Amino acid sequence: MSLSKTESAYRSLKGQIEDLTLPPGAKLGEVGLAERLGASRTPVREAIRRLAREGLVRFAPGEVAEVAPISLAGVRALFEFRQILEPAAARLVTRDGCAEPVRIAAFRALLPELEAVRDRFGAPGAEDAEPSDVLRPVPVDEQAVRAFHALTERFDQALIAAVRNPPLAKTIADTRGQTARLRAIAHAAPGRPALSLAEHLAMTGAVVAGDSERAAAEVAAHLDRTLRTVLDGLTRGDLPASVDVRM
């Protein structure tokens, strides 16, 4: 089934915002975007409004829309929120998986794929890693990195799909746009993808093993390490566009 013009424009713009092709502060002129996307201005305008509702675009009075800036305060607030939601979701999913194994089937399928990518990464163990490990160069296969990015997305979607509580699942899903572009910043740090892979192996392994408290703890540790890496990337000031670094 073909996508509507608005949905197509929305997905294209969202993907470019998430991978920082359209970085924070980038102007979103309807005419230029319509020409670039091969669409009329109406679906582009609707896509921009949808992205604004998700917090990825902002409108300044009298100015063209722009990609929403990233601030240290906003990043901290987002991760504080995620630290409440996602460890709780991991705990619930793991408990439910013990009673209904089908509920965690996606995690069981994911585990050997993560292990296969690990063999190509030479990833450090998450439990032994130091914060400085995120800055340590680790030679990796670029195809393995792309495969890993797809697997992290599958982990997130599996967690959302397996949560019995619809409001909790929706709230986690609603943070995905902001989370995705911060992940791009985190994974830009040398060595971070390999360390994140080790963390995803630990999280997935805990879910599959039925250890709900360890699953929650591993998710919390992953979020903490990711936050530190993102903040480091922001404060180094090496992003491709202006970033609000006020506390």
Instruction: Confirm whether 5-67 and 72-236 share one CATH topology.
Output: no
Q: Is it the case that residue 136 has pLDDT exceeding 60? A: no
Which option is the CATH number for 72-236: 3.40.50.670, 1.20.120.1630, 1.20.120.530, 3.40.50.10860? 1.20.120.530
Phi-psi region of 224 (alpha: psi -120 to 50; beta: other; left: phi over 0): alpha
Residue 112 has pLDDT above 50, yes or no: yes
CATH of 5-67, one of 3.20.20.30, 1.10.10.10, 1.10.3720.10, 1.10.357.10: 1.10.10.10
CA gap 149, 226 in Å, rounded: 14
pLDDT, tens digit (0-9, with 9 covering 90-100), for 71-86: 888 899 999 999 999 9
Instruction: Domain ranges for the chain, please list them.
Output: 5-67, 72-236
Residues in the chain: 247
Instruction: Determine the pLDDT at residue 91.
Output: 98
Q: Dump pLDDT digits (tens) for 17-57.
A: 988 889 888 899 989 998 888 888 999 999 999 999 888 99
- pLDDT at res. 171: 94
pTM: 0.81
Say what the pLDDT of residue 243 is.
52
What is the average pLDDT value for the chain, to the nearest integer? 85
Other C-beta atoms closer than 10 Å to the C-beta of 38 total: 10
pLDDT at 132: 44
Quick one: pLDDT at residue 225?
A: 94
